[in-house]
């Protein structure tokens, strides 16, 4: 494993092991060394009307602003998460991944405005400098169940898990979320205008209202996620790295993985940890690359070479753990390389790519009539869907209609043999 000589000019920064991104999820409140965890059950969910009818459950996350974002570019980020369902019947299963959301201060705007960036799967709300509101939209999600949302008996609850961070040294606020049902169904791409704050910019509708969908509002969902929950983000929770790209390729001799990444901002960043996995789930640290001196906001290129000629796995997964000077961290997307010795018997193809509602996966002919597992992982390495065929044909179809737009990996396994491919899900 060799560190590229171009990285010899670095600064040595004291390594801190504590992480401190604000984590929240729904149950009870307690703190752990991974950050502040906030939990509170929401058991007020109501079934949607007209059972069996395709229905969109509109998730909307809200925060308070008290003038904390007082300079251009000041922001609060919800970096995505998961909404889980207990005792609630859906067509997609028991959980969904949520889009990101960001509130950004911008001197050029006079009132809050919200838009959805489909390429980054992010809701962006721009606010005037030092804006104050007790109820401001930060993120949403059009969660569609083709069979509606039914109560299946027993304990009924929705559970939210995700992260807040900010580029401010300190940020104190509070959050809550709401759930409402709509028929006919819609998506994040065609949700239309959303009220950023109460009555702003559209009439008397509350914050988070998808204004163009109001005619389809039906019974179901719940008014809020428990109570309003306060939180505080300190300087340790702000994450300073902006990653423009990250790639991994096998060299021409098939014995070295070449990792390259580019940053556009690494202010107060400390180092990168190269992490490797043989299964796409459990990762090990293989090296640390320090950030360059005078990193600031300028674009910087980094690379690292990892010898893989002794690897036993057919696929090797790589990701970056990007760590700040206060111990805060975030992960890059996952990159996969396939070792040469296993390429012929592990070749697969997933298409169309990008895909909207389903993908067709073609496996090697030697896998036919055998037990084959098809797993789909999000960029955090979490399996969001798994299908197992006991007597697989050469081409199988997997429904991905319930997944949110974004980047995923399809991993196909037959005993010890496996193959993987990156796909893009669009709405």
- The predicted-structure confidence for 326-340, as pLDDT tens digits, reads as follows 656 677 878 888 775
In this predicted structure, what is the pLDDT of residue 41? 54
The tally of domains found in the chain comes to: 3
Whether residues 336 and 348 share a domain: the answer is no
- pLDDT tens-place string over residues 130-154: 999 999 999 999 999 999 999 998 7
CATH number of the CATH domain containing 244: 2.60.40.10
What's the mean pLDDT in 246-271?
A: 83
Whether residues 90 and 32 share a domain: the answer is yes
Nearest Cα residue to 225 out of 45, 422, 361: 45
Whether residues 314 and 209 share a domain: the answer is no
Higher pLDDT, 291 or 43: 291
Q: Is the pLDDT of residue 165 over 90?
A: no
Where is the domain boundary, 221, 236, 251?
236
Q: Is the pLDDT of residue 313 over 90?
A: no
Whether residues 216 and 172 share a domain: the answer is yes
Q: Is the pLDDT of residue 178 over 80?
A: yes
420, 375 in Cβ contact below 8 A?
A: no
Whether residues 151 and 287 share a domain: the answer is no
Cα Dmax for the chain: 65
- pLDDT tens-place string over residues 277-289: 887 767 788 888 8
| Plot region of 37 (φ>0 → left; ψ -120 to 50 → alpha; else → beta) | beta
Where is the domain boundary, 236, 271, 301?
236
Model confidence at 426, pLDDT cuts 50, 70, 90, reads: confident
Whether residues 186 and 87 share a domain: the answer is yes
Whether residues 211 and 295 share a domain: the answer is no
Q: What is the pTM of this model?
A: 0.53
In this predicted structure, what is the pLDDT of residue 170? 81
- What percentage of the chain exceeds 90 in pLDDT? 30
Whether residues 161 and 251 share a domain: the answer is no
In 71-170, DSSP assigns E strands to 75-86, 88-89, 95-98, 100-105, 113-117, 122-127, 132-145, 150-151, 157-166
CATH number of the CATH domain containing 376: 2.60.40.3080
Model confidence at 374, pLDDT cuts 50, 70, 90, reads: very high
How many helical (H) and strand (E) elements, i.e. helices and strands, does the chain have? 0, 32
Q: Domain containing 167: what range?
A: 22-236
Where is the domain boundary, 295, 314, 340?
340
In this predicted structure, what is the pLDDT of residue 211? 93
């Amino acid at each position: 494993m060799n560190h590229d000589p171009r990285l010899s000019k670095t600064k040595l920064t004291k390594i801190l092991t504590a992480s401190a991104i604000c984590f929240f999820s729904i149950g009870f409140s307690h703190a752990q060394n991974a950050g502040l965890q906030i939990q509170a059950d929401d058991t007020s969910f109501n079934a949607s009307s007209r059972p069996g009818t395709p229905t969109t459950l509109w998730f909307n996350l809200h925060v308070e602003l008290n003038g904390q974002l007082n300079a251009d570019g000041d922001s609060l980020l919800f970096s995505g998460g998961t909404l889980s369902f207990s005792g609630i019947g859906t067509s997609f299963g028991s959980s969904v991944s949520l889009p990101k959301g960001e509130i950004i201060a911008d001197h050029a705007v006079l009132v809050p405005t919200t838009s959805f960036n489909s390429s980054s799967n992010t809701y962006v709300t721009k606010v005037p400098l030092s804006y104050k509101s007790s109820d401001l939209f930060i993120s949403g999600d059009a969660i569609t169940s083709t069979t509606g949302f039914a109560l299946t008996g027993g304990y009924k609850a929705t559970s939210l898990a995700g992260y807040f961070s900010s580029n401010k040294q300190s940020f104190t606020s509070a959050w809550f979320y709401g759930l409402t049902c709509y028929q006919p169904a819609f998506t994040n791409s065609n949700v239309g205008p959303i009220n950023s704050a109460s009555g702003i910019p559209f009439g008397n509708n509350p914050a988070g209202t998808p204004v163009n969908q109001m005619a389809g509002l039906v019974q179901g969902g719940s008014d809020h996620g428990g109570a309003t929950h306060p939180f505080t983000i300190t300087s340790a929770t702000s994450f300073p790295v902006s990653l423009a790209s990250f790639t991994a390729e096998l060299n021409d001799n098939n014995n070295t993985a070449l990792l390259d990444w580019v940053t556009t901002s690494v202010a107060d960043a400390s180092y990168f940890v190269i992490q490797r996995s043989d299964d796409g789930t459990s990762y090990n640290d293989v090296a640390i690359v320090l950030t360059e001196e005078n990193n600031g906001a300028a674009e910087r290129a980094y690379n690292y070479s990892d010898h893989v000629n002794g690897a036993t796995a057919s696929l090797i997964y790589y990701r970056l753990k990007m760590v700040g000077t206060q111990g805060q961290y975030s992960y890059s997307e996952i990159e996969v390389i396939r070792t040469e010795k296993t390429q012929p018997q592990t070749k697969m193809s997933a298409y169309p790519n990008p895909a909207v509602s389903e993908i067709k996966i073609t496996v090697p002919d030697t896998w036919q009539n055998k037990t084959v597992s098809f797993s789909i992982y999000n960029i955090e390495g979490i399996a969001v869907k798994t299908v197992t065929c006991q007597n697989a044909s050469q081409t199988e179809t997997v429904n991905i209609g319930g997944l949110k737009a974004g980047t995923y990996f399809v991993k196909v396994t037959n005993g010890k043999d496996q193959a993987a491919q990156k796909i893009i899900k669009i709405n």
